[in-house]
Amino acid sequence: MNANSPIWITNFKTYEQSVNENAIQLGLIHEKVAKETGKNVWCAVNAIDLQATADIILSPVLAQHVDGIEYGSHTGHIHPATVQNAGAIGTLLNHSENRVSFEALQAAITACKKYELKTIVCAESPAEVAKFAELKPDMLAFEPPQLIGSSDISVADEPELITQSIEKANGIPLLVGAGINKPADIRTALDLGAQGFLVASAIVKSDNPEATLRLFLTEF
């Protein structure tokens, strides 16, 4: 991993293009691009495909969620130890599509620290960034709702949200998780002080994920 490069995380979600065998193939694309560019490229993979993907690709793999639980009667939950054993280096938490209570988030971060898993906590406002920063996650990902899935507006249209969130993060690295529609948005966010990106459909649903990923990474 290049310590001087921002972090790029592609969230595979559960698109048809990124589950089952497609998860592995998309992961291999990310590994290839990371190796050839020297950039930090990570993949957040669904719980079922996590181990199969981590076993094959060299790029860091994240879970999309874990629960703050100990061993026991927790049907349907995801134990952080199983995620670690599957080969993940960390997990997303509180994604906009899977938000949890503050108490559940706190428990998950505590459990992840026990198993040495990195935590990337998603927040939808500068106020949430400040609140979640108190829990000392490894990174925060800023996902303003008005920018999620929008092709009409980007971080360039609301730069003050990024600068406010970076200030509220209190030194914890801030990733931008919405409003990245074109390579120029990468440069805008980096110039504002962002230290990485959490992106999904722009890569996963692209007709050519490899070419699109390379295009975005040219701004790193």
Domains recognised in the chain with CATH numbers: 7-217 (3.20.20.70)
| Whether 101 contacts 67, CB under 8 Å | no
Q: pLDDT at position 6, please?
A: 96
**Residue among 191, 199, 206, 198 at smallest CA distance from 175:** 198
What lies within 8 Å, CB to CB, of 181 at 6+ separation is: 150, 151, 154, 202
Question: What single string gives the DSSP state of each residue in 66-104?
Answer: -----SSS-TT---HHHHHHTT-SEEEES-TTS---HHH
69-78: long-range contacts, CB 8 A cutoff, minimum separation 24: 69/107, 69/111, 70/111, 78/47
d(CA 211, CA 27): 14
User: Residue 173 carries which side chain, given as an amino acid letter?
Assistant: P
Q: pLDDT at position 166, please?
A: 96
Active site (catalytic) residues: 95, 143
220 residues of the chain, pLDDT tens digit each: 566 789 999 999 999 999 999 999 999 999 999 999 999 999 999 999 999 999 999 999 999 999 999 999 999 999 999 999 999 999 999 999 999 999 999 999 999 999 999 999 999 999 999 999 999 999 999 988 876 666 666 676 788 999 999 999 999 999 998 878 888 889 989 999 999 999 999 999 999 999 999 999 998 8
